[in-house]
Chain A
Amino acid sequence: MERTSTGRHVTDEELLLDYYGESAPADRDDRRAHLEACESCRALDREMRAVLTLVDTTPSVEAPPGFGREMWARLEPQISARMRTRTPWWRRVPSELLTRRRVEGWALAGGMAALLLAAFMLGRVWEQAPRKDTPSADARTLRERLLQAEVEDHLDRSQRVLVELVNADDTVADAFAGERMRAADLVAAGRLYRRSADAVGDVAMRDLLEDVERILVDVANEPSDGSSKDLTDVRMRITDQDLVFRLRLAASEIRERERRERPVW
């Protein structure tokens, strides 16, 4: 029996690679020479080709007529919503911050201090890193990332307050004592972010911040003799609206976006 130049019969893998034109020309020529002389390998080759031809006879499945238009009809609401929110709404926050000087209060002062500190820290990092873009592009990216971090921090802090309320001891006299001030601090900044989200059509974020704001306002205004019934009511509203989970999700989405947009230093 004729052998290949390597002294053996051809394998089905080799025949398959030849069939698909994926083998080296020299190897293929060698195998062709072998096939001419070897009936058993020719039989294997015939069988393989016959099987693949049978697969080819299977009719291809066509999409229904107008499938492209049908698909667009399914996609359009989601894609349009995404396109509307493509410019992240927190990028609109700076102008609001500049024009609404009276709303800042302690929350905003704390936020600005955090911004300055972060800017200082990031500035140090940037000074040590080779610059790829123009200075103005770097400055814009820095500003956007800092604002992004600020919004993310707001969502995290709101989440912590709600978690504390859900787990608060309702047997003590003033069940809201620990959270009243913190809730008040968060209201002004949250309102600012909510308006920005609304202005750019980020409906999901606007609704979330609105739902959270209602709770925070009630907690901030709760009298010092707030009863356990009031606390139970607040808890029910938090859990019914799934607020802790929604806040966590929104914060993690911002973190993910921030991670994707992070420059490589």
Chain B
Amino acid sequence: MHQSDPTAVARARNGDIAAFRSLVEEHSAYLFGVVYRMTRNPEDARDVVQDTWLKAHTQLGRFESRADVRTWLTRIAINCAIDHLRKTGRREAVQTADLEEGPIAARARALEPAPDRRVLAGEIHARVAQTMLRLTEIERAAFTLRHIEGMSIDEIGSVLGLKSNATKHSIFRAVRKMRAALAPFVEA
């Protein structure tokens, strides 16, 4: 967290547009990274980051001065991303069977004797991205926040409005789906 962040929020709350601009310029790239992992689409990520700032602007009065600005913004961004995904209904139409025995798995096995690591890495990245899109919005958010952003389960629960057990189970389900999808590569 930047030391100046809570001050910038306080100034923005009092109508200082330059202070709000400094927050936007400071944190937008980070928010793009978080949101992109949810949307997997740069244009959608741009829109969600924009929504995040508009919402943050209306909620400046609710920011607690002792809180971390980036965590506060992440919370808003993740919820905007969930809303966006629900609104657009964007979810990859991939069947579980495809993931377990689909063409990527076959290619991964075919690569076993003489693995071309770059190709294999590309296949793995594609499979991870594909699996992320198959997760429910909540699973995707919970897994992203835990595994990528390193938030604790309690923090994630507060971001998503879930109890601790529900948060854990969302992460468990996400990891289980990831294991099923990546099993051929682990074996390889």
Contacts and interface: CB of A to CB of B under 8 A. Distances in A.
Contacts of B153: 20, 22
Contacts of B168: 13, 17
Nearest to A87: B15
Interface in A77-106: 78-80, 82-83, 86
B129 interface: yes
Contact of A75 (B27, B32, B53, B171): B53
A68 B15 contact: no
Interface string B36-80: 110000100010011001100100000000000000000000000
B80 to A, nearest CB: 13
Interface stretch (A53-61, A115-123, A232-240, A245-253): A53-61
B15 A51 contact: no
Given A68-B26, A80-B17, A83-B15, A54 B185 contact: yes
Contact of A54 (B20, B50, B124, B129): B124
Chain B CB count within 10 A is highest, among A55, A62, A76, for A55
Contacts, number: 100
B95 to A, nearest CB: 20
B175 A52 contact: yes
A50 interface: yes
Interface string A6-24: 0000001100110010100
A55 B33 contact: no
B125 interface: yes
B104 interface: no
A58 B128 contact: yes
Interface residues of B, number: 42
A55 B42 CA distance: 20
Interface residues of A, number: 35
Contact of B24 (A13, A51, A54, A71): A71
B33 A62 contact: yes
B17 A51 contact: no
Given A71-B49, A86-B15, A63 B33 contact: yes
B84 to A, nearest CB: 16
Nearest to B30: A63
A67 B46 CA distance: 9
A132 interface: no
Interface stretch (B1-9, B85-93, B176-184): B176-184
A74 interface: yes
Contacts of A16: 171-172, 175
B57 A79 contact: yes
11 contacts: A16-B175, A47-B179, A51-B182, A51-B186, A58-B125, A67-B29, A68-B25, A71-B24, A71-B49, A82-B57, A83-B17
Interface of A: 12-13, 16-17, 20, 22, 47-48, 50-52, 54-55, 57-63, 67-72, 74-76, 78-80, 82-83, 86
Task: Please give me the 5 A-B residue pairs with the lowest Cβ-Cβ distance, nearest first.
Answer: A68-B25, A63-B32, A63-B29, A71-B28, A68-B28
